């Protein structure tokens, strides 16, 4: 009997059961005390929806454009590193699910599958996420490959020039070469299906990075290489240079402050993502949804505002749109699907969120997300 999946939490539990502990923990963790990680979700719960009745609910649509392209719903798959360790060929599986569902997929710099392989196995153009490295030739090369692969937008992540610490990854010794400790062996014995699926796909491992980075052979060396390579001197001038080098649509990700939002808008970004990296960087920062109103006030009429961090349901998406975001991105919500059931699990995550979004929008008295505003919410006084 296939498992009955009715909510993202079902996928999370299955992900935990089916994926080696170190890769599950890599996903389900935040930096240091995890306060920001927790509040990203719990702050959504503080916003309450206003129920309306006797409103015509026929002919509803959740379709919305994201940077000019129509989507089934305003939910993009966020860039997530080493998806290919949650499931063999994880990036390809997630990209295929997104393409079939009609939402954008973003490929991380830290992917297991290469830009070229994802392009080979999909037809819809995807977005490429760039971490800015010290080695400018490396950055140019990645941008050139993303262009050649037909990527339709460049996502520049600005909130990870130095790494926040996640205790679980250090304690687990995160690596693609799982050490044969008694704990790891016991863990793998219950997750043998994952292991079977992985066999044979390792030829693809790290083609994205290898060949450009000396000595990178697995996740742990990738982590130390990138920790050295991230450019701590990244500033707005360099961001501008990269935008010019790319020459196409640009999304600046990791904006959490109205002043930074203004800089991003002045630079001519097509969109910004209000994000704290899913609570994985500055522990103690406020949640994205709590920072959204200030950022909407600052630049809402100049740049398309997207939001991520903490979204686990269609109700969360609806709340973000009502608070002024034009679109949302999900990370863990689809990674739980990927780890639980591969491509089918990512599709299921999207179906769950879509249904919750559609029904909640209707019960708030709307047939179209474009007409949804703050009037569908009860907002606590201290939330602004
Ligand atoms: C991320 N995120 C991320 N962001 C990015 O720009 N490049 C990356 O490689 C990664 N890697 C990554 C790995 C994992 C396991 C997670 C959970 C997240 C951040 C991601 O794009 C997004 O901002 C958050 O995941 C949003 O929060 P939720 O939806 O996971 O709560």
The alpha carbon of 335 and the centre of ligand 1 are apart by a number of angstroms equal to 10
Domains of the chain: 8-369 (3.20.20.70)
Q: At what angle do helices 332-363 and 90-101 cross, to 10 degrees?
A: 20
Top mutation candidate among 41, 80, 227, 279 for ligand 1, by most atoms within 8 Å of CB? 80
- CA-to-CA distance for 128 and 154, rounded, in angstroms? 5
How many CB atoms lie under 10 A from the CB of residue 78? 30
Q: Categorise residue 16: left if φ over 0, alpha if ψ from -120 to 50, beta otherwise.
A: alpha
Is residue 44 within 8 A of residue 297, CB to CB? The reply is: no
For the chain, how many residues are written? 384
Can you tell me the ipTM of this complex? 1.00
**pLDDT on residue 202:** 58
**Chain CA centroid to CA 333, Å:** 9
User: Among 5-14, 174-183, 184-193, 349-358, where is mean pLDDT lowest?
Assistant: 174-183
For the Cβ of 331 lying below 6 angstroms from any atom of ligand 1, the answer is yes
What integer pLDDT is reported at residue 272 of this predicted model?
99
* Distance (Å, whole) CA 334 – CA 27: 11
Run of H or E residues at 286: none
Which pLDDT does position 205 carry in this prediction?
Answer: 54
330 lines ligand 1 (CB under 6 A): yes
| For the CA of 309, the nearest atom of ligand 1 | 27
Question: Taking each helix axis from N to C terminus, what angle separates 35-46 and 288-299, rounded to the nearest 10 degrees?
Answer: 70
**Neighbour count for residue 3 (Cβ, 10 Å):** 13
pLDDT at site 275: 99
- Residues 264 and 274 sit within 8 Å (Cβ to Cβ): no
pLDDT (tens digit per residue) in 86-140? 999 999 999 999 999 999 999 999 888 889 989 999 999 999 999 999 989 989 9
Distances (CA, A) of 17 to 21, 24, 47: 9, 9, 32
Do residues 305 and 274 lie in contact, with contact meaning Cβ atoms separated by under 8 Å? yes
> How many whole angstroms from 79 Cα to the centroid of ligand 1?
6
pLDDT band at 178 (very low <50, low <70, confident <90, very high): confident
Determine whether the annotation assigns residue 26 to a binding site.
Answer: yes
Does the pTM of the predicted model rise above 0.95? yes
pLDDT at 302 over 50: yes
């Amino acid at each position: 009997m296939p498992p009955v999946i009715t909510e993202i939490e079902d996928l999370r539990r299955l992900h935990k059961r089916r994926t080696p502990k170190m890769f599950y923990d890599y996903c389900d963790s935040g930096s240091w005390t995890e306060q920001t990680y927790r509040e990203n979700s719990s702050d959504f719960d503080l916003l309450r929806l206003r129920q309306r009745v006797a409103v015509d609910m026929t002919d509803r649509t959740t379709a919305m454009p994201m940077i000019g392209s129509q989507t089934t719903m305003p939910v993009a798959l966020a860039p997530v590193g080493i998806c290919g360790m949650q499931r063999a060929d994880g990036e390809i599986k997630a990209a295929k699910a997104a393409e079939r569902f009609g939402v954008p997929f973003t490929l991380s710099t830290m992917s297991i599958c290469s830009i070229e392989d994802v392009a080979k196995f999909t037809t819809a153009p995807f977005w490429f996420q760039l971490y800015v490295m010290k080695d400018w030739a490396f950055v140019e090369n990645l941008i050139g490959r993303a262009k050649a692969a037909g990527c339709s937008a460049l996502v520049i992540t600005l909130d990870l020039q130095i790494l926040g610490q996640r205790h679980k990854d250090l304690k687990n010794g995160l690596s693609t070469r799982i050490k044969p400790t008694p704990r790891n062996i016991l863990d793998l014995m219950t997750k043998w299906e994952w292991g079977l699926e992985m066999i044979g796909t390792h030829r693809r491992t790290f083609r994205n990075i290898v060949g450009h980075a000396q000595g990178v052979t697995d996740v742990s060396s990738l982590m130390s290489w990138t920790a050295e390579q991230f450019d701590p001197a990244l500033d707005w001038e360099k961001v501008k240079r990269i935008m010019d080098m790319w020459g196409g649509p640009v999304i600046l990700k990791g904006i959490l402050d109205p002043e930074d939002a203004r800089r991003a808008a002045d630079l001519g970004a097509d969109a910004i993502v209000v994000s704290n990296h899913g609570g994985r960087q500055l522990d103690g920062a406020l949640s994205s949804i709590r920072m959204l109103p200030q950022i909407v006030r600052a630049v809402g009429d100049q740049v398309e505002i997207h939001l991520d961090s903490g979204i686990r349901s269609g109700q969360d998406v609806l709340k973000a749109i009502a608070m002024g975001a034009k679109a949302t991105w999900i990370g863990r919500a689809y990674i739980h699907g990927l780890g639980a059931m591969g491509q089918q699990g990512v599709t299921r995550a999207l179906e769950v969120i879509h249904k919750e979004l559609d029904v909640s929008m209707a019960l708030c008295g709307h047939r179209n997300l474009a007409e949804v505003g703050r009037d569908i919410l009860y907002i606590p006084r201290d939330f602004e």
